[in-house]
Amino acid sequence: MTSWNLIQKARALLEKERGTVQKPWGGRISICLLYPNTYHVGMSNLGFQTIYQRFNAEDDVVCERAFLPDPEDLQEYQKTKTPLLSLESQKPLSEFDLVAFSISFENDFLNILTLMELGRIPMESDLRGEKDPLILAGGVAVFINPEPLTPFFDLFILGEGEEVVEEFLRVYRQYRTRKEVLLKRLSQVEGVYVPKFYDVTYEEDGTIKAMEPRVGVNRTVRRRWVSTLDQFPTQSSLFTKETELKQMAMVEVNRGCPRGCRFCAACFVYYPFRNRSLSLLDSLIAQALDQEGRIGLSGTALSDFPHLFSLCEQILSRQGGLALASLRIDAITPSLIGALKKGGVQSVAIAPEAGSERLRNMIKKGYTEREILSAVQTLIEHHLLQIKSYFLIGLPSETDEDVKAILTLSKKIEHEILSKRVADKKHWKLVLSINPFVPKPATPFQWVPFEEVNALKRKLKLLRHGIRGEKHMELIHDLPKWAYIQALLSRGDRRVGRMLMAAHQYQGNWEQALRRSSLNPDFFVYRWRRLDETFPWDFIDHGIPKEKLKEEYFIAMKEAGIKIDQ
């Protein structure tokens, strides 16, 4: 049975969209691209939009989308027993040849299972047969560490998807009728990981003994990356008012980052640092401004784009508005901020990450207090009256003094502002965005543990108490218990897939699921990892040798005053 109500809602969403690709199915390879969160969230994801375009650029492919239904629609799906429908043609998920998930965040993993269940697709890959669609996943959360998702997927694309699509489809066209042969052939495509072709054995202490590829399968999978970004222009192609970043066209400027902050997964898993050319960006901006009046510049290291100011000027000269996610503190110059202000930017985000200089040096984000305050001064002089400042808590060796240093720094920022003759300073606001530090795979901090949840709660309390009565400051933060789950899902091996399945069966109640697990989740989250330990993600070649990460780890631990037996 199919709910007429849900079909009507899908059509209403399509009517409000521009850029939708509608293709007849006849004889084409049908792909349903899923975003494991709602339409409102997913439609602002540039990676998701890029893959939608890339698949649809092939004549013999029809790619449609599906999202996690809103709570109200979810009830309607369940009540009417409607199988999950694609947006464009409102066809059930199980009718597609391929179902591809684009996954950016570990905290969306649970939604993947909800979507498979709604789509009436057996969740575990070994329960699926020849007639079921091939289920694959890509996206940054996947190429950081796909292992907790391995029970559910036939294959993963590790790296930048645009680069792999052509080779992937070439093999798919040839062997699509025989799933086993197809998977074998696909596993030969660089960047494609077929988990069932790897056997994992464990030591008695629970760590990984070996991850052995079957005969004819590569031991390591090289993460794919686009060597010349200009080859694949990346900008918004779908527009709707029903999304987070509405009335804005996104244009991606660069990928990777030359800075190497030791906690930053984006730096290591998008290695190497690459910029688009100014001439291409100029033309992308001209096209984007035909669609929306405001350009959102995106990129891992926007501040490192050598022509950022010229780019902003170009946008302004075309009467466009501007937005960008955050700026490096030492890139905040009067001319750049002047341009942003003219482009309608009201608030700027900076990321000192730690309150004390000691910790900033340890994570390799070595700004001095003077540099931070000088950047704030520039922002204030241009009447940018909202500053968002990102901090991590739970970094290795962090003491209460380091946490209090976040307050001290914030109060110095406040003083900097209140002592200036700024007319509208009474409307000024500093938003402290506090995030528990999750040591990510493939970074120099992959060996360190996640801080105990209770310790994080206590530190948050310290911060909340410290800003009580400060009418110009606001504190926002992730909940430590969710950061714990994020750490479990990003640092776990394939056995964590069972915990994920249990959490799904307990309707998202992680506490209950973890209590009943035969494995202790703390093993994945709270443990210092041995230097010679084999990590679940070690088979991915990001182009940076593990020894290089280890060197950075040793330097960091030395600066933290933590002794590591080398």
Cβ 364 to ligand SF4, closest distance in Å?
A: 7
Candidate ranges 83-91, 130-138, 262-270, 339-347; the one touching ligand SF4 (CB under 6 A): 262-270
* Residue whose C-alpha is closest to residue 63's, from 83, 87, 46: 87
Comparison of 164 and 267: residue with beta carbon closer to ligand SF4: 267
301 belongs to the binding site for ligand SF4 (CB under 6 A): yes
457 belongs to the binding site for ligand SF4 (CB under 6 A): no
Candidate ranges 218-226, 263-271, 306-314, 425-433; the one touching ligand SF4 (CB under 6 A): 263-271
Amino acid at 465: H
CA angle 33, 36, 40 (to 5 degrees): 95
134 belongs to the binding site for ligand SF4 (CB under 6 A): no
Cβ 304 to ligand SF4, closest distance in Å?
A: 8
Cβ 460 to ligand SF4, closest distance in Å?
A: 22
Cβ 323 to ligand SF4, closest distance in Å?
A: 18
Phi, psi of 118 (to 5 degrees): -60, -35
331 belongs to the binding site for ligand SF4 (CB under 6 A): no
Q: Which residue has the tokens 């070996």?
A: 210
Interface residues for ligand SF4 in 512-551 (CB under 6 A)? none
Burial of 470 per CB tally in 10 Å (0-12, 13-18, 19+): middle
Q: Which two tokens stand for residue 506?
A: 């307990």
Q: Which of 266, 280, 422, 555 binds ligand SF4 (CB under 6 A)?
A: 266
Which helix (H) or strand (E) segment is 60 a member of? none
Phi, psi of 281 (to 5 degrees): -60, -40
Cβ 302 to ligand SF4, closest distance in Å?
A: 9
261 belongs to the binding site for ligand SF4 (CB under 6 A): yes
Across the beta sheet with 429-436, what order do the strands follow?
347-353, 386-393, 429-436, 473-477
Q: Which of 116, 157, 267, 432 binds ligand SF4 (CB under 6 A)?
A: 267
300 belongs to the binding site for ligand SF4 (CB under 6 A): yes
* Residue whose C-alpha is closest to residue 49's, from 243, 305, 285: 243
Candidate ranges 205-213, 252-260, 404-412, 492-500; the one touching ligand SF4 (CB under 6 A): 252-260
What number of chain residues touch ligand SF4 (CB under 6 A)?
10
Q: Which residues contact 116 (CB under 8 A, 6 or more apart)?
A: 122, 123, 135, 152
Q: Which of 85, 144, 251, 264 binds ligand SF4 (CB under 6 A)?
A: 264
Q: Which residues contact 182 (CB under 8 A, 6 or more apart)?
A: 134, 171, 172, 175, 176
Interface residues toward ligand SF4, by CB under 6 A: 257, 259-261, 264, 266-267, 300-301, 328
